[in-house]
Amino acid sequence: MPLPEGTKAPDFTLKSKQATGVVDVKLSANFGKKNTVLLFFPLAFTSVCTQEMCDITSGLNAYAGLNADVIGVSVDSPFAQEAWAQKEKIKVTLASDLNKKTAEAYGVLLPDLLGFGATSARAAFVIDRTGVIRYSEQTPTPKDLPNFAAIKNVLSKLTSPRRRLDIEGRSQSGFSPFHLNFKQRRSPATGLTPSGSDFILPLRQ
């Protein structure tokens, strides 16, 4: 079963073949900066996987607008992924989980797919900037695509100012919503303290 929402996402460093050569793709490089959409797919050069990655490629600007980095992960070699990406004009960052350890860590490794051996299931995770899984889905079959509308909805909530305060515990201005100074005001006429309280918001970290 895929790791549930609220779980700390396992970090990984996977190889990716890009124009500059073989590079490392590290999940934690996004921590503190961007949300991550992590898409596991079974195999390159297959019809549903091609459709999925081509659709994501055409909508990459929308994910960038939601402050999200998209990473596709399969058990193919980085060289096979590159050849596939060039053939299909896929612009998504593709990372090779050749030893299958990352799919296993996320709970989405299938023991066998149509006689091809162990591959990842088709699955999607949204990981926020603190490294916590905020959306988790494994599709019923490898032929089914993830619910991308739900993924974008989660990303939209993560990028809202209120949600960012909830997650990070502070705004970019340095104000922390969890540190408020309260001062009750006594009435000069009655000497009583009213039920309401004035509060001061002076704290900056």
Q: Per the residue annotation, which of 27, 39, 49, 94 is the catalytic one?
A: 49
Tell me the three state secondary structure of residue 134: strand
Give the ranges where 59-193 is alpha helix by DSSP (H): 60-65, 78-88, 101-105, 148-159, 161-168
Q: At what angle do helices 148-159 and 161-168 cross, to 10 degrees?
A: 80
Q: Which two tokens stand for residue 97?
A: 């989980």
Question: CA geometry: angle at 118 spanning 117 and 120, to 5°?
Answer: 135
Q: Confirm whether 54 is a catalytic residue.
A: no
Q: Which residues contact 48 (CB under 8 A, 6 or more apart)?
A: 122, 142, 143, 145
Q: Which two tokens stand for residue 18?
A: 């890009």
Q: What span, in angstroms and rounded, lies between the C-alpha atoms of 85 and 187? A: 72
Catalytic positions, please? 49
